[in-house]
Amino acid sequence: MRVVCSIAGSDSSAGAGIQADLKATSQFYACYCATVITAVTAQNTLGVQDAHQLPTSIVRAQIESVFSDLNVRVVKTGMLGDSEMINTVADELQERQPPKIVVDPVMISKTGFPLLADDAVETFKARIVPLATLITPNTHEAERLTGISVHSIDDAKRAGQALLDLGAEAALVKGGHLEESPGTDVLVTPDETELFEREWIETKHTHGTGCSYASAIAARMAYPSEWDLSLCIDSAKAWLTEAIRYGQNIGHGVGPTQPFHSQEFGGWRD
- Mean pLDDT for the chain? 93
pLDDT confidence band for 186 (50 / 70 / 90) = very high
Q: Is 209 a catalytic residue?
A: yes
Across the range 229-239, mean pLDDT stands at 94
**Three-state SS sequence of the chain:** CEEEEEEEEEECCCCCHHHHHHHHHCCECCEEEEEEEEEEEEEECCEEEEEEECCHHHHHHHHHHHHHHCCEEEEEECCCECHHHHHHHHHHHHHHCCCEEEECCCCECCCCCECECHHHHHHHHHHCHHHCCEECCEHHHHHHHHCCCCCCHHHHHHHHHHHHHCCCCCEEEECCCCCCCCCCEEEECCCCEEEECCCCCCCCCCECHHHHHHHHHHHHHCCCCCCCHHHHHHHHHHHHHHHHHCCCCCCCCCCECCCCCCHHHCCECC
What does the alpha-carbon distance between residue 183 and residue 258 come to, in Å, rounded to a whole number?
18
pLDDT band at residue 261, thresholds of 50, 70 and 90? confident
Give the confidence band of 190 by pLDDT, cuts at 50, 70, 90: very high
Our answer to whether residue 15 is catalytic in this structure is no
Residue 180: pLDDT above 80? no
Q: What is the pLDDT of residue 110?
A: 79
Instruction: Please confirm, yes or no, whether 174 is among the known catalytic residues.
Output: yes
Q: 23, 209, 255, 257: which is the annotated catalytic residue? A: 209
pLDDT band per the 50, 70, 90 thresholds, residue 103: very high
| Average pLDDT rounded to a whole number, residues 50-76 | 97
**Residue 270, pLDDT above cutoff 90:** no
- Cα 5 from Cα 240, distance rounded (Å): 20
- Bigger pLDDT: 25 vs 200: 25
- When pLDDT is averaged across residues 205-219 and rounded to a whole number, the result is 95
Model confidence pTM above 0.85: yes
Mean pLDDT over 110-137 rounds to 94
The CA angle 106-78-193, to the nearest 5 degrees, is 75
Average pLDDT over residues 82-106: 97
CB distance 244 to 176 below 8 Å: no
pLDDT above 80 for 224: no
Indicate whether 187 pLDDT > 90.
yes
Report residue 263's pLDDT band, with 50, 70 and 90 as the boundaries. low
Percent over 90 (pLDDT), the chain: 84
Identify the band that residue 227 occupies on the pLDDT scale cut at 50, 70 and 90.
confident
| Active-site option among 208, 232, 237, 255 | 208
Reply yes or no on whether 237 is catalytic.
no
The pLDDT assigned to 200 comes to 87
Write down the catalytic residue from 206, 232, 255, 257: 206
Q: Establish whether 206 is a catalytic residue.
A: yes
CATH of 2-262, one of 1.10.8.60, 3.30.70.1230, 3.40.1190.20, 3.40.50.2300: 3.40.1190.20
Residues 214, 262 contacting (CB under 8 angstroms): no
> How far apart, in whole angstroms, are the C-alpha atoms of residue 127 and residue 116?
14
167 is catalytic: no
